[in-house]
Chain A
Amino acid sequence: DAGVIQSPRHEVTEMGQEVTLRCKPISGHDYLFWYRQTMMRGLELLIYFNNNVPIDDSGMPEDRFSAKMPNASFSTLKIQPSEPRDSAVYFCASSFGGYSDTQYFGPGTRLTVL
């Protein structure tokens, strides 16, 4: 299995632009998570899905952030409009569920907003 796939790996954009981050979970996993990692705030859970349905979005910082999971093999995290303070590494992770709680992280997308 290729593991969790994220694209792009790096994104540089200007303040005010729309940013879309993409994630493909491991096949067969029914949980998908979006995290943000910064030096100041550490690793934060933004939102997670179970069977394509958002379960908890309490970590989404504000209305500029939105996430969707249209099917079991694809999810997006969108920031519109982007701001410099959104600069971070965004990780997607997936989990099989059931008895196994292990979350497998993707390689991350490093976002820089100028």
Chain B
Amino acid sequence: GENVEQHPSTLSVQEGDSAVIKCTYSDSASNYFPWYKQELGKRPQLIIDIRSNVGEKKDQRIAVTLNKTAKHFSLHITETQPEDSAVYFCAANSGGSNYKLTFGKGTLLTVNP
């Protein structure tokens, strides 16, 4: 089955700096890569996703890049703010379904004021 590795497991940055979280996946048939944000004690919420037919997608301060050849994708957060502090999960689909997601283990991002 699909295996998704996520690094780093923890990341601490100063407010205003950029943060980058990287993921690799194993299933070459994967074509859908969402990122979820989970605040402490809350539910995961989708923040951005990318499909294999594009290499990059941006939404305000958040961007995701995808390298299908290398089987890795990354989340970039610019101008970080304290409210960006949360656990971020990457995921990849598998089994030929956009709905069967395998999640990375998560990155705890702390933005220090």
Using a CB–CB distance below 8 Å, which chain A residues touch chain B?
31, 33, 42-45, 48, 50, 55-56, 58, 91, 95, 101-108
Classify the interface of chain A: helix, strand, loop or mixed.
strand
Query: Bound state CA distance, A63 and B43, in angstroms?
Result: 27
Give the interface of B toward A (CB within 8 A): 1, 32, 34, 42-46, 49, 89, 93, 95, 97-106
A42 to B102, CA, bound (A): 10
Within 8 Å by CB of B103, from A31, A43, A107, lies A43
Within 8 Å CB of A56, what residues of B?
95, 97, 100
Q: What is the distance, in angstroms, from A104's C-beta to the closest C-beta of chain B?
A: 8
A102 near B46 with CB under 8 A, answer yes
- With a cutoff of 8 Å between Cβ atoms, the chain A residues found around residue B46 in the complex are 102-104
A25 shortest CB reach to chain B, Å:
13
A45 touches B44 (CB 8 A): no
Contact: B45 with A105, CB < 8 Å? yes
Is B44 a contact of A42 with CB atoms below 8 Å?
no
Name the residue on A nearest B42 (C-beta). Answer: A107
Q: Which residue of B lies closest to A49 (CB)?
A: B99
Task: Output the nearest chain A residue to B32 by Cβ-Cβ distance.
Answer: A101
Residues of A within 8 A of B103 (CB): 42-44
